[in-house]
Amino acid sequence: MAAADALLTGLPVSTLRGATPLLFVLLGECLTQRAGRINLGVEGQMLVGAAAGYGVTALSGSPALGLAAGAAAGALLSTVFAVLTVAVDADPFASGLAVWMLGFGVSAFAGTALVGLRIDGWMPWAGGITPTIALALALVPVCGFGLLHTRTGLRWRAVGESPEHARAAGVTPWHYIVAGVLVGGVLSGLGGAALSVDYTRTWAEGMTAGRGLVAVGLVIVARWNPWLALPAALLFGLAEALSLRLQAADSAVSAHLLHTLPYLASLGVFAITCARLRRRPGGGAPAALGALLAR
């Protein structure tokens, strides 16, 4: 009974905390994919965001500046993806992986200077909510309403559905694709910074450990809908919170094994979503992506 209490007390907040970095990335990648690009480079963008955010927070003492620096770093790296896939039309999968590799390298290189630095981060408000969590939660309706109920959002979606038709309607597709990639860069950088500045409050090489790529899969689970990004991120957060608590509770299962739980849970819901999408062709996938995913 006591063990169960230890497992469940404060679980909602822990879930939310674990979900927050992922929620940023998920929203960003959702907007990127809605404009018709899959960016696997979010992993690298998160890493540079985490490194920049941690470094600036340590130097300035301001977590807010840290988050801003993370967002800027993520956006900067995403311009590489934008140039590769828009200006020269390179393969999006390979471009994403190259950006990931570059981001990993840059963050590892810059990160050597961060080892040993300490940061304080934000004091949580009542109930364990930090400004980072509040910002992530606030972005859900911003993205949801913005994408689904505004003129800009409509054009954004139209470009993702069909650049040719959007062009025929008087929209310039590449503006929106680049915007989609850059917004994805800002939000993945924010997500990385949220991870290092607010969640773990440490810096370690490769610390995002695949969260960006999990987000790419969870976008599909969320059916490319910003509103559904919240439950998808919470699912990952819950799996992570449970795995941490099971470790703390001296579970018979090794901590290293428990670490795989969030990934397996994400893969599970991803597979289930794909199976369900099969019965509804397209299933809400931006059509320009559908062609890419169905090949």
Partner 1 sequence: MAPVELRLNGLCKRFRDVVAVHDASLVIRGGEVLALLGENGAGKSTLMRLAYGMVRPDAGHIEIDARRVRFDAPRDAVAAGIGMVFQQFSLIDTLSVRENLALAWPRAPWWLGRDARRPGALDAHLARLVPGVDPRARTGDLAVGVRQQIEIAKVLLREARCVILDEPTAVLTPAEAGALHARVRALARDGFAVVLITHKTADVRACADRVAVMRAGRVVGEAPAADAADARIVEWMVGVAPAPAAARPARAADTPVRLSVRGLCAGPVRDVALDVHAGEIVAVAGVSGSGQVALAEALTGLRPLDAGQVTLDGQALRAPGRPARPVAALAAIPADPRRTAIAPSRSLAVNLALKRLAVQPWRVRRAALEEQARAPIARFDVRPPDPRRPAGTLSGGNLQKLVIARELQGDPTAVVACYPTMGLDVVATAQVRDAMLTLAANGCAVLWFGEDLDDLLAHAHRIVVMFDGRLVADLDAHTATPQQVGVWMSGHAIAPDPLRQAA
Partner 2 sequence: MTTVAALAATPLRAAFVRAAAAIGVFAALASLFFVSIGQPPATMFVEIARAAAGSGYAVGESLVRATPIMLCALATLVPARLGLVSVGADGQLYAGAIVGTGALLAWPLAPGPVLLSAVLVGGAIGGALWALGPALLRAFVPVHETISTLMLNWVAAMLVTWLVHGAWRNPASQGWPASIEFPDTARLPVLGDSRVHAGLALALVLAVVLHAVLTRTRSGLVLDVLRDNPRLQAVTGCAVAPRIVATMLVGGAFAGLAGIVETSVVQGRLQSDLANGAGLAGFLVAWLAGNRVPQTVALALLVGAVLAAGDGLQIATAVPSSATLVVQGLMFVALLAVGGASARWRGVGHGRG
Nearer to partner 2, 108 or 142 (CB): 108
Alpha carbons 67 and 19: distance in angstroms, whole number: 17
For 247, counting Cβ atoms within 10 Å of its Cβ (0-12 exposed, 13-18 middle, 19+ buried), the class is: middle
Residues 266-295 that bind partner 1 (CB under 8 A): 282, 284, 287
Q: What is the DSSP letter of 119?
A: -
Could you tell me the end-to-end alpha-carbon distance of the chain, in angstroms, rounded to an integer? Answer: 51
Count of residues that interact with partner 1, criterion CB under 8 A? 22
Residues 68-127 that bind partner 1 (CB under 8 A): none
Q: What is the dihedral of CA 214, 67, 29, 95, to 10 degrees?
A: -90
Per CB under 8 A, the list member of 149, 278, 279, 280 interacting with partner 2 is 278
Is there binding between residue 275 and partner 2 (CB under 8 A)?
yes
Determine the residue type at 42.
V
Structure tokens that stand for 228 in this block:
């559904």
- Angle (CA) 6-8-12 rounded to 5° is 135
Is there binding between residue 82 and partner 2 (CB under 8 A)?
no
Per CB under 8 A, the list member of 5, 89, 116, 281 interacting with partner 2 is 89
Under the phi-then-psi rule, with left for phi > 0, alpha for psi from -120 to 50, and beta for the rest, what region is 186? alpha
Neighbours of 254 (CB within 10 A): 9
Is there binding between residue 6 and partner 2 (CB under 8 A)?
no
Per CB under 8 A, the list member of 29, 161, 198, 240 interacting with partner 1 is 161
Alpha carbons 224 and 141: distance in angstroms, whole number: 14
Is there binding between residue 142 and partner 1 (CB under 8 A)?
no
Per CB under 8 A, the list member of 72, 80, 190, 238 interacting with partner 2 is 80
Q: Which stretch binds partner 1 (CB under 8 A): 81-89, 91-99, 163-171, 264-272?
A: 163-171
How far CA 8 is from CA of 14, 164, 178, 193, in Å, comes to 10, 51, 43, 28
Neighbours of 165 (CB within 10 A): 13
Residues 203-232 that bind partner 2 (CB under 8 A): 205, 209-210, 213-214, 216-217, 220
Q: Which stretch binds partner 1 (CB under 8 A): 47-55, 127-135, 154-162, 179-187?
A: 154-162
Binding site for partner 2 (CB under 8 A): 36-37, 40, 80, 83-86, 88-95, 97-106, 108-109, 111-112, 159, 163, 173-174, 177, 205, 209-210, 213-214, 216-217, 220, 254, 256-257, 259-260, 263-264, 266-267, 270-271, 274-275, 278, 288, 291-293, 295
Binding site for partner 1 (CB under 8 A): 149-152, 154-155, 157-158, 161-162, 164-172, 282, 284, 287
